[in-house]
Chains A and B, each alone.
Chain A
Amino acid sequence: MISLIWLVVHFTLTSACTNQSSEILVTYYGYYNDGYRLNILRESVEDSFSLAPRPIPLSDFDVIEVALCDYSRISANLQTSDLIKHVQSHRRLKFTSTKRRKTRPTTDSIKVTQLMKAQELWDMGLKGQGVRVGVFDTGLGETHPHFKTIVERTDWTNEKTPNDGLGHGTFVAGLISGTSEECPGFAPAASIYIYKVFTKKQVSYTSWFLDAFNHAIMRGINIINLSIGGPDFTDRPFMDKVWELSANGIILISAIGNDGPSFGTLNNPADQMDVIGVGGVNAEGRMARFSSRGMTIWELPDGYGRAKPDVVSYGASVLGSALDGGCRVLSGTSVASPVVSGAVALMLSGIEDRTLWNAGVVKQALIEGAMRISDSAASIFEQGAGSVDLLRSFKFMRKYKPQVTLFPSHLDSLDCPYLWPFCADPLYAGALPKIINVTIVSGLSVSSRIEEPPVWEPFSTESANVLRISISYSPQIWPWTGFMALFLSVNSEHSSYTGNVSGRIRLTVVSDHFGEKRRATIAFPMRLRVIPTPARSQRILWDQFRNLRYPPGYIPRDDLREKQNPLDWNGDHPHTNFRLFFQHLRADGFFLEILGEPLSCVDLSQYSVYLVVDPEEEYFPHEINLLENAVNKNGLNMIIFADWYNTRVMEKIKFFDENSKEWWTPETGGSNIPALNDLLSRWGLELADTIIEGNATIGDLHSSIKSGTVISRAPAGTHVSYATVNDITEEIIAGDSTLHKPLNAPVFALLRNNATGSGFVSIFSDSSCLESKSASFESCIPLVDILIDAAAYGVPHSFCDLLVTIPSPLIPLSPPPLRSDLSKHFTVISSVVENYDHNKVTYRSLPSCRTMTAAASFVVENISYPGDVSDRTHEAFARVVFSPRVSSINSQFKMGSIIPNGGILLDSSFNSTPQPGLIYPFISILAFFILFVLLAKLCRWRILSKARILATRIL
């Protein structure tokens, strides 16, 4: 498997840039007119810019003028646009910060300690003293003038020096404990342990991390900052080690990733429950575009992701320490993470009770103290609990009693858009259960548990009757964290109920803490909108079960031109990368239900449309029978968005993973065409392994195709849409851009059966056009609109008339693509197929469907839903904290013992490795001495030889 870990950084080199401007040359993929180009630019650039007029309206490039300070951000934003080919500086730009020159803080760089009001804690004499912070990064130079409290620097890479060759580690360490007045860190007195785990070329391995992490446990580190991350959440040795660190009382704070604004882009380890995952906001407190967004995709397809990041903090244009001893500006969640690490270190130095220095309590303090950001559009999957508020969190910790925190803390249909998508999606009878995944944070002890099942307490008898709730939860809350998943549905007899129902889920967490039984209670208040069951025509079934993604398998990207990330890793869920599509359907009044199980687990007659987008998983033969029956006899309409598949291209895009020293071959194509063909063969349809790109017009709708497939077989009477596109199969295989050839091929098919009570089958060549990041003018969402309307009210003649109705069957020129023998792990990651032998498939047995028992309900009538959910003392939260017996835990533990929060109290006289602070002057003196002796000897020889020469001359 790939253990892609990268430094989560956006380098924004800016210096003395307030009044200067710079020009950017933007090249597009095609020739567009003025207005169109302006639209493209406006879509990707939020900042102001001036556009140089072009003499001719139609152009494939533009020159825009922007403020020099914004240059990097704007050019990065421009690069994310799908229509822009190149972004380059029009006039050569000099990055002065590579020179040894002090950068002056500019108006748009953030002095983050000021914004976080660190001064108030500094004034109390708190400077992070006594807190050990481990910085796992690219190292730090010994003589950097900003650092006074570096205790140890260790190198775990192969570079043989703990020095920073990149600047990333220096910047991160600077935000935590820099002492520069120009760009101060939060905790200048914290003990800093530098762990170099990245080389200056940003290379790193899991095994380096494992050994370095063990060393951190041994050193009794309190906080570890991880401004690193990658998409692989299946690297067990790494993840187990992260849990082990948390279990030993180490607080891990990590960057959530820079893959935004798309959803489903969280990075590991920040997406782990016990880790504090930090997203980025700018100085105005708005979401930074780059910040990765939720949900976690571990739980898909049958579950639902957790809300991440946990909190956000300043991460755009932040001022910090530079490699050369000055200050510089950097953006990224790499920056937001040490801001929080520094703030936590500062906070902890004011907390005398060291048993509170652990991941559980600190996570509670950050979540409970955080304030929702001013960006009112940001949901919990973007901003988490909100922006870190140092003072509020500090107050929370000062008054701390062992307790339990839930995240999210409540569920409210009216709390929109913060609780999107829950607030956007009402409940109704007969729907597949809606799932919310609640994270439980327990400050009782490293390991606690839910002994009694959580109790459903409706606030009225009506709520009790209408709502049906099933609860699954983690048996153990370890380390410090666990989950509780609520499956929400409406009892079938209330199919015409309208209104809000409310209640709470109450749970008690218990823990054995060094001979003491601790117990705390918390409730999860809910207010849910219930509507009458919508008509069949409004209900759409989304097949999530058909999605496979990275990790664990190499599922290749859907757009072969996308070189940045080779993987399909965003979950392909209506609430992740197909989010805009979901919102569009909801806005049009349709209801999308998400199926995470085989089709045998759902009543297909309830839905107007069966929607499958970018499928990678196979179909059970039984499922194909069910679909054939439902479409032909029961009026179900099937809409398929396929993607490319070609075994030779799969062979071509295999790569050698430097990390795991293994070859990586795709498990399937962009989507699994052989599997789809098995399904489509029932209607005489077939897809080919030709890969195309270009623009298509279906009826009167335009949409773009990026690495799509072609319809190769269709029976007579099928309505087909041809498009003149480029066949890029050979181009991709040979890597030669001249090899694409024009092709007029069917890219869309609509097959109607004239029998009464039957639905249609429709296929489109590509699925990328439905993804959120696509610009609206190339989207195929309008096509889905037409199709869904057609499913509800019949296919309009006006639409069919614009398509070609083929008089004779479409016959493929080549045989259909076979399943690839290259995909060695497909049968491991698939839950449908057991064995692939050439094209002979052995299926697993059909899994049994999920059955969930409803939680018993106990009506509590005197309580109502809280008017202000930020008031956690409201009775709806039923918060009961644990009051410990009076004992001073610290005094029980002598020096050298492992204290309950996991740190080893070391007395300073025993240190196994030399303290760099002492050894360096010693070595310098030694070096001086050796040099002196050598020079003295050299000098003597010279004198001697001179004498000899003289002597010779004299003689």
Chain B
Amino acid sequence: MTTSAEVEAAAAAAATTRRRMLARVARLLRPSPGRAALLAIASLAMLYVMLFCPSTWETMTGWITSDAEAAMLDRYRSVARRQIQWMREEGELMSDGGMMEGGGANGTERCRNTVQGASRVADDRGFVCDRADVEASGCCGAGPATKRARFTCDACRVADTGYGSALGGGAAAPAASAAAECCDDFETCVSCCMRPDQKEALLRVLDTTRGHRLRAILSARDQFELCSALCRTSSLSVRHENKYRDEHAKHCFVQHLDESTV
């Protein structure tokens, strides 16, 4: 514990340092004819490069922005960590479930869904159903052909990457160690990834993802968007560029691989 006096003293010291810094900057910026001339020459030089040597200018700005972009991505990563809306825990789900299912019918509930499937669709509540059972609202309804399931991991398994624990028989077990959690098809992958208890595993994915793939997941505002982005096949899914690492379990929401192999 620090006393309030200590805090005040520290604050005062910090204020003094800041004031000194500002003073130095101000001194540096004080106009003088020589500096003004130099500034003008420098500006003209840059203007010249910008206007007449577009390629050099682009290399320069490109050089600056690539670093800036990496820094920006890192900042967005921390924002994403805070702002992603996660699926609610089991208790809330139970009390909510009835209303959600009714939602499609009374027309108030709207769902986003994984538009792409040939025969199956996953919605933003974690349901997977046949295309025929998708209602006008975009939600998986309890239709006649229903094989609707929620948070299903039925076609998922731990891919053979040499890492730890298994996700067996649909039982949720977000492993403490790094496990790759992969599914046969995209829709099941999204549904499995939507389990509320996947949050910790997904946060780890968010922290460890680097490079180009990061761009595609940072726009996610909730677990559905994050899972949809993660479950797509990516540069991590291939070996020798044109074969899948695993022909069957190719949609992964958790995948820890040596980045150097890609």
- Mark A residues whose CB is within 8 Å of B: 1-3, 141-144, 154-156, 160-163, 205-208, 210-212, 214-215, 217-218, 232, 234-238, 240-241, 244, 247-249, 325, 446-447, 476, 478-479, 512, 514-516, 659-662, 887, 892-894, 896-898, 900-902, 906, 910-914, 916, 919-920, 923-924, 927-928, 931-933, 935-937, 939, 943
Contact = CB atoms under 8 A, between A and B. Distances in A.
Interface string B96-112: 00000000000000101
A206 B238 contact: yes
B235 A933 contact: no
A205 B238 CA distance: 11
Contacts of A914: 68-69, 72
Contacts of B68: 914, 919, 923
B46 A936 contact: no
B243 interface: yes
A936 B113 contact: no
B57 to A, nearest CB: 7
Interface stretch (B8-16, B151-159, B162-170, B208-216): B208-216
Interface in B61-112: 61-66, 68-69, 72-73, 76, 80, 110, 112
A928 B46 contact: yes
Nearest to A902: B115
Contacts of A163: 55, 58-59, 62
B127 to A, nearest CB: 15
Contacts of A154: 215
A164 B200 CA distance: 41
Interface in B179-232: 186, 212-213, 215-216, 218-219, 221, 229, 232
A120 to B, nearest CB: 33
Contacts of A919: 65, 68, 72
B173 interface: no
Given A141-B54, A217-B232, 13 more contacts: A142-B58, A142-B61, A143-B57, A144-B54, A210-B234, A214-B229, A234-B242, A237-B244, A241-B233, A479-B116, A892-B137, A912-B76, A913-B215
Given A210-B237, A237-B233, A898-B112, A161 B66 contact: yes
Nearest to B51: A143
A248 B135 CA distance: 18
Interface of B: 28-29, 34-35, 38-39, 42-43, 46, 50, 54-55, 57-59, 61-66, 68-69, 72-73, 76, 80, 110, 112-113, 115-119, 131-132, 134-138, 141, 186, 212-213, 215-216, 218-219, 221, 229, 232-235, 237-238, 240-244, 262
B35 A660 contact: no
Contacts of B141: 515
B65 A898 contact: no
Contact of A238 (B38, B138, B242): B242
Nearest to A1: B242
A931 B238 CA distance: 45
30 contacts: A1-B242, A2-B242, A3-B242, A161-B59, A161-B66, A210-B234, A211-B215, A215-B215, A218-B216, A218-B229, A234-B242, A235-B242, A236-B243, A241-B233, A244-B116, A247-B117, A248-B115, A479-B116, A515-B137, A661-B241, A897-B110, A898-B112, A900-B115, A912-B215, A912-B218, A914-B69, A923-B65, A933-B28, A935-B38, A936-B38
Contacts of B34: 939, 943
Contacts of A901: 115
A512 B132 contact: yes
B53 to A, nearest CB: 10
Interface of B is mostly: helix
The 9 A-B residue pairs with the shortest CB-CB distance, nearest first, are A207-B235, A247-B116, A161-B62, A478-B118, A660-B240, A235-B242, A912-B219, A515-B136, A3-B242
Contacts of A156: 212
A906 B62 CA distance: 27
A33 to B, nearest CB: 50
Contacts of B64: 923, 927
A714 to B, nearest CB: 45
A476 B118 contact: yes
B28 A937 contact: yes
Contact of B243 (A1, A215, A893): A1
Contact of A931 (B42, B62, B118, B221): B42
A237 B134 contact: no
Nearest to A141: B58
Most chain B beta carbons < 10 A, residue from A215, A901, A912: A912
A906 B221 CA distance: 11
Nearest to A514: B136
Given A514-B134, A923-B68, A232 B242 contact: yes
Given A210-B237, A217-B232, A939-B34, A920 B62 contact: no
Nearest to A232: B242
B212 A894 contact: no
A766 B64 CA distance: 59
B46 A514 contact: no
Given A207-B238, A208-B235, A244-B116, A893 B110 contact: yes
Contact of B238 (A237, A479, A923): A237
Most chain A beta carbons < 10 A, residue from B46, B72, B76, B118: B118
Contact of B234 (A211, A234, A923): A211
A515 to B, nearest CB: 4
Contacts of A661: 240-241
Contacts of A931: 42, 46
A523 to B, nearest CB: 25
Contacts of B65: 916, 919-920, 923
B116 to A, nearest CB: 4
A912 B77 CA distance: 9
Contacts of B117: 247, 447
A476 B242 CA distance: 25
Contacts of A144: 54
Given A212-B212, A214-B229, A659-B242, A913 B61 contact: no
A898 B28 contact: no
A160 B60 CA distance: 12
Contact of B28 (A208, A897, A936): A936
Contact of B115 (A162, A206, A898): A898
A660 B242 contact: yes
Contacts of B110: 892-894, 897
B31 to A, nearest CB: 10
Contact of A210 (B58, B116, B235): B235
A1 B138 contact: no
B241 A205 contact: yes
Contacts of A892: 110, 136-137
Contact of A902 (B69, B116, B212): B116
B72 A913 contact: yes
B235 A211 contact: yes
B262 A207 contact: yes
Contacts of B29: 936
A939 B35 contact: yes
A943 B32 CA distance: 13
Contacts of B42: 928, 931-932, 935
A141 B76 CA distance: 25
A514 B138 contact: yes
Contacts of A160: 62-63, 66
Most chain B beta carbons < 10 A, residue from A211, A325, A923: A211
Contacts of B39: 932, 935-936
Contacts of B138: 514, 893, 897-898, 900
A793 B50 CA distance: 81
A237 B57 contact: no
A402 B76 CA distance: 42
A212 B216 CA distance: 8
A102 to B, nearest CB: 14
A232 B238 CA distance: 16
A141 to B, nearest CB: 5
Contacts of A939: 34-35, 38
B133 to A, nearest CB: 8
A498 B59 CA distance: 73
